[in-house]
Each structure stands twice: as C-alpha cells, then as structure tokens.
C-alpha cells in the first residue's frame, strides 16, 4: 500500500512501537547523530523501541538515558507518528518533549549528541517526514502523522 488513504489507520497493527524524545532549550533542540541501527547516519532525537511492560513515557526516558546519559525531566506528550513501509515493516512512534534534564549529554556507542538551533535544523540528513511535523512540535501544537515509505523514500503522508 503506497497511499496513506489505502490504509485503515484505526485497524493498522504496527510491527514495532518506538519513542522519540526532544530536549528543547533556548530555541535549540538536542538531536543525535544515530551511529547504528535503524536510521543510522541520520540526525534524529534519542529514542527507540518500547519494551514489554513499560509505558511510552518510560521508554522515552530510558532510551534517552541509554543513548545520551541524561534524564529528561517532566516529559510532555507532543504527537503521534505512524510509518508504513511497503516491504511490510511498520512503526508506531510517540513523540515527547522536555525542557529540562539531569546530567551531561555524552556520546555513547549509539549516539552523538548535537544541539541545533530550530532555524538551522539539518533536514537534508534526516528522515523525509521530519520537516513536515517538526514545526508543529516546536510550536507546541499536537500532531498525528501517517506516512508511507519505500525504504528511505517517503511516498505519501497526511498530517492531522
Ligand atoms: C521513517 O521515518 C522516521 N522518522 C523519524 N523521525 N524517526 C523514525 C522514523 N522511523 C523510525 N524512527 C525512529 C523511531 C525510533 O526512535 C528509532 C528507531 O529505533 P529502534 O530502536 O527501532 O532501532 P534501533 O536503533 O535499530 O534499535 P534499538 O532499539 O536496539 O536501539 O527511529
């Protein structure tokens, strides 16, 4: 299925569930250069797969601790992303933001932390969906995005 309207998103059953955690301070976002795994080489937020028994928010905090050695404080839910890949892969992502954290962002074997000004985000080296919903997230507007991908190529989307 290539078009988002081909999919019944209410009945859609994703293969994976994952989170993204955006630390926002002084018009800057703390992103990572992802060093391995899905989307390696791209800039993204810290995040990863939901583990059995944990909440979305617990996952977002744990993944940020594992990838950057920091603990986000008082995370807020920001939006929902649903990615359907035509090879059969699919990911339901929940996005969180936080303005405070404990610790010092530190490079790990998974991620290199980098601060970017919100007006100078490296969209040329990010997933193709990111320029569509980042502006809403930065503005504090809730969003839900549905996307179809063929590998790294975005085929179609709707942003609600
Ligand atoms: C397709 O578009 C995507 N855009 C954005 N911004 N982020 C995406 C996209 N697809 C997946 N992601 C995110 C969701 C997760 O935070 C990561 C993938 O993490 P995952 O954990 O599934 O992958 P690995 O790092 O390979 O595995 P580990 O959990 O073992 O670290 O990307």
Q: Do residues 35 and 42 touch, judged by C-beta distance below 8 A?
A: no
Cα separation of 60 and 63, whole Å?
5
Strand 143-150 relative to strand 76-85, pairing: parallel
Distance CA 113, CA 48 (A): 15
- Decide: 152 in ligand 1 pocket, CB within 6 A: no
Name the residue among 66, 78, 83, 80 with its Cα closest to residue 29. 78
In-domain check, residue 25: yes
Check whether 24 has a pLDDT greater than 90.
Answer: yes
Q: Mind listing the pLDDT tens digit for each residue in 40-91?
A: 999 999 999 999 999 999 999 999 999 999 999 999 999 999 999 999 999 9
φ/ψ (deg, to 5) at 103: 105, 180
User: Which pLDDT does position 26 carry in this prediction?
Assistant: 97
pLDDT tier, 1 (very low <50, low <70, confident <90, very high otherwise): confident
- How many angstroms is it from 15 CA to the middle of ligand 1? 12
Question: Which CATH number goes with the domain that contains 69?
Answer: 3.90.79.10
Residue 6 domain-assigned (yes or no): no
Q: What is the pLDDT of the chain when averaged over all its residues?
A: 98
Host domain of residue 151: 15-159
Span from the CA of 132 to the centroid of ligand 1 (angstroms): 17
Domain total in the chain: 1
């Amino acid at each position: 299925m290539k078009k988002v309207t081909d999919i019944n998103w209410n009945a859609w059953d994703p293969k994976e569930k994952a989170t993204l955690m955006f630390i926002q301070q002084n018009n800057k976002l703390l992103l990572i250069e992802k060093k391995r795994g899905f989307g390696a080489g791209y800039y993204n937020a810290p995040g990863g797969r939901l583990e059995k028994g944990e909440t979305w928010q617990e996952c977002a905090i744990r993944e940020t601790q594992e990838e950057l050695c920091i603990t986000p404080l008082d995370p807020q839910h920001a939006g929902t992303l649903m990615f359907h890949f035509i090879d059969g892969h699919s990911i339901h992502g929940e996005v969180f933001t936080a303005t405070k954290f404990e610790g010092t962002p530190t490079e790990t074997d998974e991620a290199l932390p980098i601060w970017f000004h919100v007006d100078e985000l490296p969209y040329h080296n990010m997933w193709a969906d990111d320029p569509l919903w980042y502006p809403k997230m930065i503005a504090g507007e809730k969003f839900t995005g549905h996307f179809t991908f063929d590998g790294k190529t975005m085929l179609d989307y709707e942003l609600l």
